[in-house]
Structure 1
Amino acid sequence: MTIQNKRIIASILFVLISFVCASQMPSVEPPPPGTPPPGLPIDEYVLIGIAFALFYGVRKLLLQKANNN
């Protein structure tokens, strides 16, 4: 079996599995919609995460630059 045939068979199986998953109906009725959740506040942990990401990125760039020289 060539790679092209394997890709075609894999694509067909993927499409068929997608149809099976989409056609299944839930067995119970969904609960009635409630009130929407309140907006989530952006707290200090987001700022700490951004600071950590910046520190990590700068550190990786400096280490990569040091390894290339």
Structure 2
Amino acid sequence: MKIVPNRIIIILVVFFLKNTAVFADAGPPPPSSPPPPPGLPVDGGLYILLMLSLCYGIYKLIKLKNIKKASN
């Protein structure tokens, strides 16, 4: 059986890399995270959003009617 030098080098590198993990330090613990911000109200601009969406819907319907009239 022929001994291949590349295999021996690979085996030695893997062996030494595996042993270096034993000496690794865990390090300091991560800092604690700040407390989450308080909840914000959702209904602050809900009526404005509703009115804007209704106006946009009416605008699109009128525009669609005008396009159908022009094509006839």
TM norm structure 1:
0.45
TM norm structure 2:
0.43
The structure whose Rg is larger is 2
